[in-house]
Amino acid sequence: MELYYDEMESPVGPLTIISDGEHIVRIEYGSFNQMEAKMGKWSERYFDNPIFIHKPGKVDYVKIELQDYFNGNRSVFSFDFSFHGTPFQHKVWQALYDTISYGETKTYKDIAAAIGNPKAVRAVGGAVNKNPFSIVVPCHRVIGANGKMVGYNGGLDKKEYLLAHEAR
């Protein structure tokens, strides 16, 4: 299976965007070289004999939408993406995407309630940490019950930047 990727610079550092040719399958913080081992392990779980090919044309439209977001001209993304994870992770990621609007925040407890499993707060945190669509599926909008910033796979500095950016 061929997976196509390219990178872009952003205010939160390099982003790597991966496509299966039809859908975006991952947006990750860092350059492809930094993420290659992680992407290799992840892709072997979900794709048959994955081969990464640097092909910017396959993801240019995503780069345009992300640049629009960073320029303050986009709050919703229109490209197709496909989740690859456990059924529980899919539920959590879909809840993030469906229930947290641009500029808003919710708690892990809110997300657990949204998926109909209010006691699964820790499990929700684990799924949020594995979100394959940085920025687009807004895990940066999830905060602790006390209103404080807690863990973020990309680093709290990125989370703080994204929340401040959306508050403008």
Q: Say how far apart CA 138 and CA 65 lie, in whole Å.
A: 15
| Three-state DSSP class for residue 100 | coil
| Three-state DSSP class for residue 163 | helix
Question: Looking at the DSSP assignment, which residues form a beta bridge with residue 26?
Answer: 18
> Hey, what's the torsion of the CAs at 19, 38, 87, 75, to 10 degrees?
-50
In 10 A of CB 49, how many CB atoms?
8
Catalytic-role residue among 139, 142, 143, 162: 139
In 10 A of CB 67, how many CB atoms?
14
139 is catalytic: yes
Q: State the catalytic residues.
A: 139
